[in-house]
Amino acid sequence: MIETITQLAVLRERIRQWRREGQTVGFVPTMGNLHAGHYSLVKLARQHADKVVSSVFVNPTQFGPSEDFTRYPRTPDADTSGLQAAGCDVLWLPEVEAMYPFGVPLAANVHVPGISSVLEGACRPGHFDGVCTVVTRLFNQVQADVAAFGKKDFQQLAVIRQMVVDLHLPTAIIAGSIVREADGLAMSSRNQYLSEQDRATAPVIYRCLLAMRDAALAGVPRAQVEAEADGMLRRAGFEPDYAVLRSPDFNAPQDGHEGPYVALIAARLGRTRLIDNLEFDLPG
């Protein structure tokens, strides 16, 4: 039976007890409104640890002033039963006052320079500071051996990996594959904001990523791949923030560069902002 914990002292005692018993601990941080993508991370954490903690905390510091913090979907009952079915041992449900004891304006901030300022960071200033700030707190609270993050938030995963190395945090990061609907749409809590019509259009993002990959593999220059992707999204009714081909370090590769690539898209459809990505290799 999953145990829901709302007090840090209780969480620490449970983890101390597991440690005394020689058990390892996996962690899956979330903002709730969980779907199959989150549950796949719980199962992945289970493969790497004896016990799994998952947190649900809608983190105010990672939302911009015009973003969807207050309307972000909160579904505690469904989350609890879904986590239990996925094999989670503890649901950690901290209060905002416990997470930020001096209040949000006085919160000690964690900033990872460089990588946090491109793409998502450029479109959502301060977003990754909020993510790193809360993930550092959560890591200090849970003190897990491993923590699982989804590849759908490709840049978030890279920022957290850099933060963990740079701050010598003792939690190893493991990455879970993107989980998609049957029509290719990447699972996301934000998909439920889509109108019926927009939901039918949304898989164009994945088709666009596949087209970017195929064009890059066929030797089409990067600038042309990106321009064609932008056009494809706009014709379908999206307002793209970016549709780019990058190396995994987020630098723009030279045309013909061999090795790993990632195609990344962020685009608005109506009031909903969707992100997705596709990794591939350009063979030598």
Minimum CB distance to ligand PAF, residue 283 (Å): 32
Q: Give the count of residues interacting with ligand PAF (CB under 6 A).
A: 10
CB < 8 Å & 24+ apart, contacts of 239-245 = 239/267, 239/268, 239/269, 240/265, 240/266, 240/267, 240/268, 241/123, 241/266, 241/267, 241/268, 241/273, 242/119, 242/123, 242/266, 243/208, 243/212, 243/267, 244/119, 245/212, 245/216
203 binds ligand PAF per the rule CB under 6 A: no
Task: Say whether residue 31 binds ligand PAF (CB under 6 A).
Answer: yes
* For ligand PAF, the closer CB: 32 or 240: 32
Burial of 196 (0-12, 13-18, 19+ CB in 10 A): exposed
Site string for ligand PAF, 57-76 (x = CB under 6 A): --x--x--------------
The answer to whether 69 touches 63, Cβ cutoff 8 Å, is yes
Rule CB under 6 A: say whether 153 interacts with ligand PAF. Answer: yes
> Smallest gap, in angstroms, from Cβ of residue 54 to ligand PAF?
10
Least separation in angstroms between residue 218's CB and ligand PAF is 34
Within 232-261, the residues that bind ligand PAF by CB under 6 A are none
- Looking only at residues 40 through 59 of this chain, which bind ligand PAF when binding is defined by CB under 6 A? 59
Q: Is 30 in the site for ligand PAF (CB under 6 A)?
A: yes
Return the range that interacts with ligand PAF (CB under 6 A); candidates 76-84, 129-137, 165-173, 240-248. 129-137
- Check residue 187 for interaction with ligand PAF (CB under 6 A): no
Q: What is the 3-state secondary structure (H, E, C) of 102-147?
A: CCHHHCCCCCCCCHHHCCHHHHCCCHHHHHHHHHHHHHHHHCCCEE
Which of these ranges, 67-75, 81-89, 130-138, 171-179, lies near ligand PAF under the rule CB under 6 A? 130-138
Does the footprint of ligand PAF cover residue 131 (CB under 6 A)? Answer: yes
| Cα-based angle 110, 79, 50 (whole degrees, multiple of 5) | 70
Closer CB to ligand PAF, 179 or 212, in the complex: 179
Contact residues for 145 (Cβ-Cβ < 8 A; gap 6+) = 24, 25, 26, 48, 49, 171, 172
Which one of residues 135, 179, 186, 264 is an interface residue with ligand PAF (CB under 6 A)?
135
- The helix/strand/coil state of 156 is helix
38 is catalytic: yes
C-beta atoms surrounding 19 within 10 Å: 13
Q: Is 186 in the site for ligand PAF (CB under 6 A)?
A: no
Residue 29 engages ligand PAF in binding (rule: CB under 6 A): yes
- Under the binding rule (CB under 6 A), the answer on residue 279 touching ligand PAF is no
Q: Cα angle vertex 161, ends 46, 188, to 5°?
A: 65
Active-site positions read: 38
Residues that bind ligand PAF (CB under 6 A): 29-31, 59, 62, 131, 134-135, 153, 156
